[in-house]
């Protein structure tokens, strides 16, 4: 088959969802409103065709014996000697992931037509789903880390917006913000890696079967590898950044399924697989990846065991498997990792989609077994000595105290620092404007009022602790 067909198929995989999004979004911007069926049909059709394109392309390439297909969809910009190409690469890895994404998005599109029927945010949901799908396809197929970064950001933004889908309540918004901040913090890693890659190798483009060019110096490779690992840790919800994942279960169930069961958490491992050529030469990075994955598995296996709501339990189950995938990547088992990733995405999506039927299923299970379901966790209690059990349980219930550390000691520390600077600022302003009463606006305001009220003899009253 001709190269032109290949080219169009490859572009169609990302182009169709993107096109569907643009059509819907632009017309909606102009106040156009459609029937629910029209919206979901457009989106489903786009992803369905993208799936077909990807499958056809995979078939054609397999028959033709081609391993890598590189297509340039144009040039972004070329400042100075640099060129930013819109380069798409189709190889075994990227096409598998592209098929997975398009297929799941298509299925979720069909599913949500019933699930979100009569929901006021119907259009918004589909727009975000489409943009997310398009973003992930860009990540999957990007032959250029700059382009990958764009897709990466789109996926992050849309997933945060979908967490806050029910924005009339407070919690979804808070949790979306948390996910968003985690993403932002980690995206710095990706950005830095891209910049450093440009700096050291002069290009961030994948070339042929070799993949991305690795920097000559091992030190640079390690640095870039670690930055990429950092970038992937946020999306893959690895220790210690994984706190956002169970909290992300705020949107409608189908969005939770595709994002946090399947695609979004897989982006982390995918990034590492994609960029393997860069850090493959640096064993330190391998070890780091393996260690992060293993730590996550240990932590999450414990924490997940005490979760009492089904969506959190499934979120931790996802983290467990993604941690294992990272370990596999660290060990260099890339095909195993890819298979694991795909299988996990399918299984977890089904489980999350089925989660509202849990009570129904539990009854059926009980009736099928014809006895009360056996108690789980007994072997844990046998293995772990008594006092340690309580400690371990509390550790798990408090999710490893990561949240508290993050809130009180990392962010809290920062806030306290700012406050101190603020009161220092006040004091200096007072001293400089000696005599004239300055307008105090700082946070220290209230404290002063209280001190003044006490007439300078403050004292706490904590009876309970004294007795």
Partner 1 sequence: MKATARPMRETTEDRRTDIPDLVARAARLLPEQPPLQAFVHHNTLHAFEHLPFDDAVVHAARLFGTEPFQSEAAFHSCVDSGRIQQEDLDAVIEPMAADDDVPLVPGGPTRRQFHAIRLRFLLEVPRGPALSLLLQETDQRVRFTARLSTRRRTELLRQARRDWTGPTAPEPAARALQEQLLGRLWSHLEKMAPRVQVVERSTPRRRDQILAVTGLDPDELVHPLLIRLSAAFLDQGIAYWPMPGRHRGFLGAFRRLYGRPGGPPDRFLRGLGAELRRQEAESWTAERTVVWALTELDLPERDWADTIQATLLSLRGWAGMMRQFEHRPDRSPVEAHPARLIDYLAVQLILDVYAARHAVAEHLGGHATFADLDRLSAHGEATAAPAEVSLELVYEAFVLAQVMPVDTAVLADAHHATAWLGAVRSCDAIERRRLLHLAYERRHRVGVLDALAAHQRVATRPSPRSRFQAVFCIDEREESLRRHLEEHFPQVETFGYAGFFGVAMTYRGLDEVRARPLCPVGVTSRHLVVEEAVGAANTVRSRRHTVARRRRGAWSRLIAVGGRTVARGSAVTFGVGFTSFFSLIGRCLFPLRFHRCLRRLQHGADAGPVTRLAVERTSAEEHGDGLLRGYSVPEMVDLVSAALRTMGLNPRSLVLIVGHGSSSLNNPHESAHDCGATGGGRGGPNARAFAVMANHAAVRAGLRDRGIDVPESAWFLGAYHNTCDDSMTYYDEDLIPERCRPTADRAKRAVAAACVLAAHERSRRFESAPADLPLSGALTHVETRTVDLGQPRPEYGHATNAACVVGRRSRTRGLFLDRRAFLVSYDPDGDPTGELLTNLLLAAGPVCAGINLEYYFSYVDPAGYGCGTKLPHNIVGLLGVMDGHASDLRTGLPWQMVEIHEPVRLLLIVEAEPERLAAILREHPALSRLVVNGWIQLVAWSPGSGAMHVFRHNAFQPHTPEITEFPVVGRSAQFYAGKRGHLGCAHVMTASEAVSSEAVPSDAVASSGPVASSEAAPSETLSSGAASFSETASSGASGAGNGRASAGELARRAVRIQELP
331-390 positions binding partner 1, by CB under 8 A? 339-340, 342-347, 349-351, 353-363, 365-373, 375-377, 380-381, 387, 389-390
Residues 6+ away with beta carbon under 8 Å from 44: 106, 109, 110, 113
The piece of 6-14, 82-90, 181-189, 394-402 that touches partner 1 (CB under 8 A) is 394-402
* Cβ atoms of 225 and 189 closer than 8 Å: no
Q: Which is it for strands 69-77 and 84-90: parallel, antiparallel or unpaired? A: antiparallel
> Which of 169, 331, 177, 320 is closest to 242 using CA atoms?
320
| Interface pattern 53-92 for partner 1 (x via CB under 8 A) | ----------------------------------------
Comparison of 190 and 248: residue with beta carbon closer to partner 1? 248
The piece of 63-71, 104-112, 150-158, 420-428 that touches partner 1 (CB under 8 A) is 104-112
> Which of 282, 289, 396, 426 forms a contact with partner 1 (CB under 8 A)?
396
> Which of 18, 89, 223, 297 forms a contact with partner 1 (CB under 8 A)?
297
Comparison of 147 and 353: residue with beta carbon closer to partner 1? 353
Residues 6+ away with beta carbon under 8 Å from 284: 222, 225, 226
Helices (H), 355-437: 358-369, 378-383, 386-397, 402-404, 412-432
Asked whether the bond before 240 is cis by omega within 30 degrees of 0, the reply is: yes
- CA–CA separation, 401 vs 398, rounded Å? 5
Comparison of 427 and 447: residue with beta carbon closer to partner 1? 447
Q: How far is the CB of 251 from partner 1 (least distance, A)?
A: 6
> Which of 304, 326, 337, 426 forms a contact with partner 1 (CB under 8 A)?
304
The piece of 103-111, 131-139, 188-196, 226-234 that touches partner 1 (CB under 8 A) is 103-111
Residue 84: count of CB within 10 angstroms of its CB? 15
Q: How far is the CB of 467 from partner 1 (least distance, A)?
A: 6
Displacement of CA 397 from its chain's centroid (Å): 23
220-249 positions binding partner 1, by CB under 8 A: 246-249
> Which of 29, 31, 81, 118 forms a contact with partner 1 (CB under 8 A)?
118
What is the b/e burial string over 37-76, where b = at least 16 CB atoms within 10 angstroms of the residue's CB? eebbbbbbebbbbbbbbbbebbebbeeeeeebbbbebeeb
252: helix, strand or coil: coil
> Which of 250, 288, 330, 338 forms a contact with partner 1 (CB under 8 A)?
250
Q: Is 299 in the site for partner 1 (CB under 8 A)?
A: no
158-177 positions binding partner 1, by CB under 8 A: 165-166, 169, 171-172, 175
**Quick one: tokens of 136?**
């992930």
Q: How far is the CB of 21 from partner 1 (least distance, A)?
A: 21
Q: Is 101 in the site for partner 1 (CB under 8 A)?
A: no
Q: Is 320 in the site for partner 1 (CB under 8 A)?
A: yes
Q: How far is the CB of 97 from partner 1 (least distance, A)?
A: 14
Comparison of 6 and 340: residue with beta carbon closer to partner 1? 340
CA angle 339, 275, 342 (to 5 degrees): 15
Instruction: Give the C-alpha distances (Å, rounded to integers) separating 385 from 20, 381, 390.
Output: 58, 7, 9
**Quick one: tokens of 94?**
């990227």
Q: How far is the CB of 372 from partner 1 (least distance, A)?
A: 5
CA angle 210, 214, 218 (to 5 degrees): 140
- CA–CA separation, 272 vs 267, rounded Å? 9
Q: How far is the CB of 442 from partner 1 (least distance, A)?
A: 13
Q: Is 310 in the site for partner 1 (CB under 8 A)?
A: yes
The piece of 24-32, 152-160, 195-203, 404-412 that touches partner 1 (CB under 8 A) is 404-412
> Which of 355, 351, 186, 165 is closest to 267 using CA atoms?
186
> What is the rounded radius of gyration, in angstroms, for the C-alpha atoms of the chain?
26
Comparison of 31 and 458: residue with beta carbon closer to partner 1? 458
- CA–CA separation, 381 vs 389, rounded Å? 7
Comparison of 82 and 401: residue with beta carbon closer to partner 1? 401
Q: Count of alpha carbons within 13 Å of 414, Cβ hemisphere only?
A: 5
> Which of 111, 126, 180, 259 forms a contact with partner 1 (CB under 8 A)?
111
Comparison of 109 and 234: residue with beta carbon closer to partner 1? 109
408-427 positions binding partner 1, by CB under 8 A: 408-409, 412
Comparison of 199 and 364: residue with beta carbon closer to partner 1? 364
Q: How far is the CB of 229 from partner 1 (least distance, A)?
A: 21
13-42 positions binding partner 1, by CB under 8 A: none
Q: Is 393 in the site for partner 1 (CB under 8 A)?
A: yes
Q: Which helix (H) or strand (E) holds 186?
A: helix 170-201
Q: How far is the CB of 274 from partner 1 (least distance, A)?
A: 21
Q: Is 455 in the site for partner 1 (CB under 8 A)?
A: no
């Amino acid at each position: 088959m001709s190269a032109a067909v290949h080219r169009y198929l490859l572009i169609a995989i990302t182009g169709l969802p993107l096109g569907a999004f643009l059509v819907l979004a632009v017309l909606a911007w102009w106040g156009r409103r459609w029937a629910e069926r029209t919206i979901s049909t457009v989106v489903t059709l786009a992803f369905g065709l993208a799936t077909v394109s990807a499958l056809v392309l995979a078939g054609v390439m397999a028959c033709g014996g081609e391993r890598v297909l590189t297509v340039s969809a144009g040039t972004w910009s070329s400042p100075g000697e640099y060129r930013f190409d819109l380069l798409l690469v189709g190889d075994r890895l990227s096409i598998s992931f592209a098929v997975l994404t398009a297929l799941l998005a298509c299925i979720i599109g069909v599913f949500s037509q019933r699930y979100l029927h009569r929901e006021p945010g119907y259009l918004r949901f589909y727009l975000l789903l489409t943009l997310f799908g398009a973003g992930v396809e860009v990540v999957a197929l990007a032959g250029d880390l700059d382009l990958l970064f764009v897709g990466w950001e789109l996926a992050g933004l849309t997933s945060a917006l979908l967490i806050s889908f029910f924005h009339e309540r407070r919690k979804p918004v808070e949790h979306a913000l948390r996910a968003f901040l985690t993403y932002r913090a980690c995206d710095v890693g990706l950005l830095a890696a891209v910049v450093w890659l440009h700096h050291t190798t002069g290009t961030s483009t994948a070339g042929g079967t070799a993949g991305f060019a690795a920097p000559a110096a091992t030190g640079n490779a390690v640095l870039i590898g670690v930055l990429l690992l950092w970038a992937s840790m946020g999306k893959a919800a690895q220790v210690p950044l994984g706190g956002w994942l169970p909290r992300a279960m705020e949107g409608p169930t189908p969005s939770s399924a595709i994002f946090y069961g399947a695609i979004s958490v897989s982006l982390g491992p995918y990034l590492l697989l994609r960029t393997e050529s860069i850090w493959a030469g640096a064993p330190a990075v391998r070890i780091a990846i393996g260690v992060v994955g293993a730590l996550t598995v240990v932590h999450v296996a414990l924490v997940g065991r005490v979760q009492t709501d089904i969506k959190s339990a499934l979120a931790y189950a996802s983290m467990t498997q993604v941690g294992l995938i990272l370990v596999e990547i660290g060990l260099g088992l890339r095909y195993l990792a890819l298979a694991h990733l795909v299988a996990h995405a399918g299984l977890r999506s089904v489980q999350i989609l089925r989660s509202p039927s849990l009570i129904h299923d539990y009854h059926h299970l009980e009736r099928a077994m014809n006895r009360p379901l056996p108690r789980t966790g007994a072997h844990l209690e046998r293995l772990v000595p008594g006092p340690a059990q309580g400690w371990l349980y509390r550790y798990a219930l408090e999710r490893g105290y990561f949240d508290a550390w993050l809130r009180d000691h990392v962010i809290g520390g920062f806030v306290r620092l700012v406050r101190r600077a603020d009161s220092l600022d006040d004091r200096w302003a007072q001293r400089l404007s000696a005599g004239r009463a300055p307008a105090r606006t700082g946070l220290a305001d209230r404290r002063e009022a209280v001190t003044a009220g006490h007439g300078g003899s403050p004292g706490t009253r904590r009876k309970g602790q004294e007795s």
